[in-house]
Chains A and B, each alone.
Chain A
Amino acid sequence: MVDKTVLARQFIEAIPHARALGLTLTHIGEGEAEITMPYNEDLIGDPRTGVIHGGAVSASLDTCCGAAVMSHPAAPGGTATIDLRIDYMRAATPGQTITTRATCYHITRNVAFVRATATDDDQDRPVATASGAFTVEGK
Chain B
Amino acid sequence: MARPRPEPMQVVKQRRDAALKALVEGVPYIRFLNISFDRRGDELTGVLNFDEKLIGNPFLPAIHGGVTAAFLEVTAVITLSWEHLFPRIESGEIDAEDIISDHNIRFPKTIDFTVDYLRSGLPRDAYARAFISRAGRRYASVRVEAWQDNHAKLFAQATGHFLMPQEPSAKG
- Chain A residues, Cβ within 8 Å of B53: 16-17, 19-20
- Chain B residues, Cβ within 8 Å of A88: 109-113
A:55-99 near B, CB below 8 Å: 55-56, 58-63, 66, 78, 80-88
- Chain A residues, Cβ within 8 Å of B117: 80-84
| Cβ of A14 under 8 Å from chain B | yes
**Least distance between A38 CB and chain B CB atoms (Å):** 14
The interface stretch among A1-9, A42-50, A102-110 is A42-50
- Chain B residues, Cβ within 8 Å of A60: 66
Are B100's CB and A48's CB within 8 A? yes
Residue of B28, B52, B107 touching A44 (CB-CB under 8 A):
B28
**Least distance between B109 CB and chain A CB atoms (Å):** 7
Are B114's CB and A85's CB within 8 A? yes
Residue of A16, A46, A78, A86 touching B55 (CB-CB under 8 A):
A16
Are B67's CB and A17's CB within 8 A? yes
Query: Which residue of B has the minimal Cβ distance to A81?
Result: B65
The interface stretch among B7-15, B56-64, B82-90, B142-150 is B56-64
Q: How far is the CA of A88 from the CA of B27 in the complex (A)?
A: 19
A-side interface size class: 35 or more
Interface code A10-39, partner B: CB below 8 Å = 1, 0 otherwise? 000011111110000000000000000000
| Cβ of B70 under 8 Å from chain A | yes
- Chain B residues, Cβ within 8 Å of A45: 27-29
28 intermolecular pairs with C-beta atoms under 8 Å apart = A14-B58, A15-B56, A16-B56, A17-B64, A18-B56, A20-B32, A20-B54, A45-B28, A46-B107, A54-B70, A55-B71, A55-B74, A58-B69, A59-B64, A59-B66, A61-B66, A63-B66, A66-B65, A81-B65, A82-B116, A83-B116, A84-B65, A84-B114, A85-B113, A85-B114, A87-B111, A88-B109, A88-B112
Q: A16-B52, A20-B32, A55-B70 are in contact. List 5 more A-B contacts (CB 8 A).
A: A15-B57, A16-B53, A82-B116, A84-B115, A87-B111
> Which B residues contact A (CB, under 8 angstroms)?
26-33, 52-58, 64-67, 69-71, 73-74, 100-101, 103, 107, 109-117, 120
What are the 10 A-B residue pairs with the smallest beta carbon separation, nearest first?
A59-B66, A55-B70, A53-B29, A17-B64, A62-B66, A20-B53, A85-B114, A81-B65, A16-B55, A44-B28
